[in-house]
Amino acid sequence: MRYSKYVLVIQVLLLPLSTFTRAQEPIAAQTIKISKDEPTICELQRAAIKYAEVEPNKILNWRRQAALKAFMPEVSVGYDTDTYRTIDAYNYGGKTTYAVGPDDGAKGWDVSASWDLGDLIYNDDQTSIDSRSKLMVQLRNDVLDQLNAAYFERKKLQKQLDKLPDKTSEAYLEREIKVEELTATIDGLTGGYLSRRMGKE
């Protein structure tokens, strides 16, 4: 009988601990789920490059199109019209008589085509493409630098938030707001890709 009382007391003492552990499990599971739903840095980089329209293939397409320009002829089309007035003179009995007309007309079309085969080796468009290529590479690097900085700063703050026990403390709230700010920065660079992947849009 005394043994049963001890067992009952132990069960009562352990009840709050087991309840607390079960209450914490959904929170941990939810944290892992959110982490899995977030895209990787490589996914975000691809989204940022696409959104900014600075894909490397864009330059390659420009170069192919410039090379094909040599096969495209320069076509000229012209239309001519001429009118001739006919005047005849007749001398009869010492008098000169003039007869006018009828008028003669001539119309014609002309078409010409020319190729500059020197463009197969190099054409003036290549210079413009080279300049645009340098600007595009610089822009792409700037976009990726901003994205990388925001992404890894956000990751660091997320880990700090997981370690803070008091979710209502000023330190927690400050970091939480900073994470939201960095999320908005990443969305701005990727066209909202991060929020879409996290199911917030």
Q: What tens digit of pLDDT does each residue of 160-193 get? A: 999 998 989 999 999 999 999 999 999 999 999 9
Residue 28 has pLDDT above 60, yes or no: no
pTM over 0.85: no
Tens digits of per-residue pLDDT, 81-128? 777 667 766 677 667 776 666 666 667 777 877 766 666 666 777 777
Can you list the positions of beta strands (E) in 85-167? Answer: 87-92, 95-100, 104-114
Residue ranges per domain, the chain?
31-68+120-197, 74-117
How many helices (H) and strands (E) the chain has is answered by 6, 4
**Bridge partners for 110 per DSSP:** 78
